[in-house]
Amino acid sequence: MLKYSVKRILGMIPLLFVISLIAFMFVHLIPGDPARLIAGTDATIEEIENIREKYGLDQPLYKQYMDYMGNLFQGDLGQSIVTGRPVLDMLVERFGPTLRLTLASMAWALLFGLLIGVISAVKRNKWPDHLSMFFAVSGVSIPSFWLGLMMIQLFSVQLGWFPTGGIGGIETYILPSFTLGAGVAAIIARFTRSSLMDVLKEDYIRTGRSKGLTEFKVINRHAVRNALIPVVTMSGLQFGFLLSGSIITETIFSWPGLGRLLINSITARDYPVIQSEILLFSLEFLLINLLVDLLYGFLNPKIRYEEGS
Amino acid sequence: MAEAATRKEEEQEKKVTPFQQFWKSFKKQKVSFAAGVFLLLLFIVAAIGPFIAPYGPQEYDYDNLLSGPSWQHLAGTDDFGRDIFSRILHGAWISLSVGLSSVFIGALLGTILGIISGYFGKWVDSAIMRVMDVLLAFPGMLLAIGIIAILGPGLFNVVMAVAIFSVPVFARIIRSSTLAIKSTLYVEATQSIGSSHFRVIMKHIFPGTVSTLIVYFTMRIGSAILIAAGLSFLGLGADPSTPEWGAMLSNGRDYLNNAPHVTFFPGLAIFLTVLAFNLLGDGLRDALDPKIRD
């Protein structure tokens, strides 16, 4: 297990290097002079020169990258062009709301996804299965921006049950987390169904039934527990997608998180913020994938056994 | 007599082409079949939409601003009094072509890279797959937004963004199919009689990957349409005045309180189209996967 973990962690280093390079190159990839882009359209030549000097854009590229990495390790992500505040402070401030929204969405997704998946597998090819799977395909096909807006229209405008947007008490979490979690719930449901159906074919399930266990015990004690191993790892991967998938949901519900900050920064051409967000989102995604891989290795006896032998 | 009948049956069985076998299996899946018919009709509507639409996409009716569905305007009108139903018909072509073209470019590049990677192996494989790993290290939507931030907003750039993030998905799948086909006896035999790499790839490897390609192609169109509409919704895609479904839906956000139909109908069009592609993809997978078919 240790060997496997070390191998996986070491394997990430080149990827981290390339991602840092991409995030660094971001401003240089945009057509035009980076200093002019940062300074804005109505900047004077003098202002552009100042920016060039301030951001070290007059230095050779390799030197700029070294400086960028040096600053990165010291936690200096530069300053926002729009607000003038340190980018790191802005990201820290926005991270909490995004994480809380993602966790709430994951809770919905797991609750509905597992329930629908288990019902579907147990009642295979009967009407509950067909109905559940229709919901699951619908869940992956429904545009989250449409679902969110329609829920605002029904539950906030018509019924007045929940606020239309913003962050506050628990009631502000319901609609955004449901919108964000719907797609993932559908994916978890489909995955649980196929995983459970595979387990239900195993010999030990037949043994359980033949020794007179109730169907509930067979499903609950033996089948679901074994079927959950791949589902847990897949749900972990979905968590990584959710963190970045919140871009649209945060925009609809005026949620003060990282996703909305990214869209606002793109609209305002606030390049230092966009650059740092790209770096942060991909780092989060990679780290979650790594954790999921390690968790899979831990949960799956086959990998443990291979290492042991 | 019985022998003759058996022989006749065997002969008939032999005559069944792979396509006939697929068609027989696909027809049994009623929901997927219905989704296929729906999409066929949608393509026809997309092609003739501008001719059958009751109004033009930019035809203003200032007497009917934000009016609800009626016989005069089946899906109501927007803030400029434009007929939403007509705009959906006009926009069908845009949404379908954005979805199809982006996945086509992604699939084409991904297939070429996947086959090269799987067939030649060694450092070629490592080099290509590491680049694909880097692309996969970015969550899809973020990659698309990053590309748009570099290229600038617009429908063409949306197509490019969605295409780029589809490349690694196809490359990985086609690579694993290629590896499986490459190790079969008939490919080894072809190589041993001195066939060129190009011939082996075009005659044996590529045809073997086609069924996988068809399934993933269909399934990816749905997500491509969703992401493209999402980008337009965020104001990074189509110009707000274009009858693109995502942009139309975004326009309706400000009128959610008094005119929800402006948002409802374009969203419904996106939902039904993506749903149909996903259902068709599921059906094609089941019909083309020999394990399930047998």
Q: Which domains does chain B have, with CATH numbers?
A: 97-294 (1.10.3720.10)
Please state, in angstroms and rounded to a whole number, the distance separating the CA atoms of residues A261 and A274.
9
Contact B271 A142 (CB under 8 A): yes
Which residues on chain A are in Cβ contact (under 8 Å) with B260?
Answer: 150, 153, 157
Please state, in angstroms and rounded to a whole number, the distance separating the CA atoms of residues B245 and B269.
8
Residue B50 one-letter amino acid: P
The listed range with the strongest mean pLDDT (A52-66, A241-255, B7-21, B29-43) is B29-43
Please state, in angstroms and rounded to a whole number, the distance separating the CA atoms of residues A209 and A215.
7
Interface of B with A in 122-151 (CB under 8 A): 130, 133-134, 137-142, 145-146, 148-150
Q: In this structure, what token pair is assigned to residue B77?
A: 């009108």
Residue B6: band (very low, low, confident or very high) from pLDDT cuts 50, 70, 90: low
Contact A248 B139 (CB under 8 A): no
Domain assignment present for A286: yes
DSSP β-bridge partners for residue B77 = B83
Domain assignment present for A76: no
**What confidence score (pLDDT) does residue B13 get?**
59
Give the CATH number for residue A141. Answer: 1.10.3720.10
| The pLDDT of residue B109 is above 90 | yes
ipTM value, please give it.
Answer: 0.83
Contact B133 A15 (CB under 8 A): yes
Contact B234 A263 (CB under 8 A): yes
Which residues, 6+ apart, have CB-to-CB distance to B3 below 8 Å? none
On whether the CB atoms of residues B279 and B265 are closer than 8 A, the answer is no
Helix (H) or strand (E) segment spanning residue B73? none
B230 or A231, which is more confident:
B230
Domain assignment present for A155: yes
Mind telling me how many Å the CA of B193 is from chain A's nearest CA? 40
Please state, in angstroms and rounded to a whole number, the distance separating the CA atoms of residues A39 and B190.
62
Domain assignment present for A28: no
Contact B150 A29 (CB under 8 A): yes
Render pLDDT for A4-32 as a digit per residue (tens, 0 to 9).
778 778 877 888 888 888 888 877 777 77
Please state, in angstroms and rounded to a whole number, the distance separating the CA atoms of residues A136 and A126.
15
CB count within 10 Å of CB B41 equals 11
A98: left (phi over 0), alpha (psi -120 to 50) or beta: alpha
Which residues, 6+ apart, have CB-to-CB distance to B201 below 8 Å? B115, B119
Averaged pLDDT of chain A: 83
Question: To which residue do tokens 């967000």 refer?
Answer: A277
Mean pLDDT, to the nearest integer, of B263-270?
92
Q: Which of B130, B234, B257 lies nearest to residue A248, judging by beta carbons?
A: B234
Nearest chain A residue to B255 by CA distance is A153
Domain assignment present for A73: no
A154 or A79, which is more confident:
A154
Q: Give the count of domains, chain A.
A: 1
| The pLDDT of residue B294 is above 60 | no
Helix, coil or strand: residue B171 = helix
Which residues on chain A are in Cβ contact (under 8 Å) with B256?
Answer: 149, 152-153, 157
Contact A285 B137 (CB under 8 A): yes
| Sign of the Cα pseudo-torsion (A32, A33, A34, A40, in order) | negative
Contact A266 B236 (CB under 8 A): yes
**What confidence score (pLDDT) does residue B108 get?**
95
Render pLDDT for B21-42 as a digit per residue (tens, 0 to 9).
778 877 888 888 899 999 999 9
DSSP 8-state secondary structure symbol assigned to residue B237: S
| Sign of the Cα pseudo-torsion (A251, A257, A263, A264, in order) | positive
Kindly state whether A128 is in contact with chain B, defined as any CB-CB distance less than 8 angstroms. no
Q: Which of B137, B140, B249 lies nearest to residue A145, judging by beta carbons?
A: B249
**What confidence score (pLDDT) does residue A306 get?**
53
Inter-axis angle of helices B84-120 and B261-288, nearest 10? 30
Which residues on chain B are in Cβ contact (under 8 Å) with A146?
Answer: 249, 263, 267-268, 270-271
Contact A19 B256 (CB under 8 A): no
Domain assignment present for A194: yes
Nearest chain B residue to A280 by CA distance is B138
Kindly state whether B34 is in contact with chain A, defined as any CB-CB distance less than 8 angstroms. no
**What confidence score (pLDDT) does residue B293 get?**
46
**What confidence score (pLDDT) does residue A166 get?**
82
Burial B186-206 (b: 16+ CB within 10 A, else e): ebeebeeeeeeeeebbeebbb
Domain assignment present for A33: no
Residue B293 one-letter amino acid: R
Q: Where are the alpha helices (DSSP H) in chain A?
A: 2-29, 34-39, 45-54, 61-73, 87-122, 127-141, 144-151, 171-200, 203-210, 215-217, 224-252, 258-267, 271-299, 301-308
Q: Which of A21, A146, A154, A267 to mutate to test the interface with B (most CBs of B within 10 A)?
A: A146
CB count within 10 Å of CB A34 equals 18
End-to-end CA distance of chain B: 30
A141, with CB counted inside 10 A (0-12, 13-18, 19+), is buried
Domain assignment present for A141: yes
Q: What is the largest CA-CA distance in chain B?
A: 81
Enclosing domain of residue A144: 95-303
Mean pLDDT, to the nearest integer, of B172-200?
85
Q: Flag whether the pTM goes above 0.90.
A: no
Render pLDDT for B41-93 as a digit per residue (tens, 0 to 9).
999 998 987 888 888 788 787 777 777 788 887 878 888 888 889 899 988 99
Q: Which of A140, A251, A281 lies nearest to residue B278, judging by beta carbons?
A: A140
Contact B145 A22 (CB under 8 A): no
Render pLDDT for A191-241 as a digit per residue (tens, 0 to 9).
888 888 888 777 888 888 888 888 788 877 778 777 777 787 778 778 877
Q: In this structure, what token pair is assigned to residue B204?
A: 């044996």
For A86, list phi and psi in degrees, rounded to 5: -60, 135
**Of B88, B64, B92, B62, nearest in space to B77 by CA:** B64
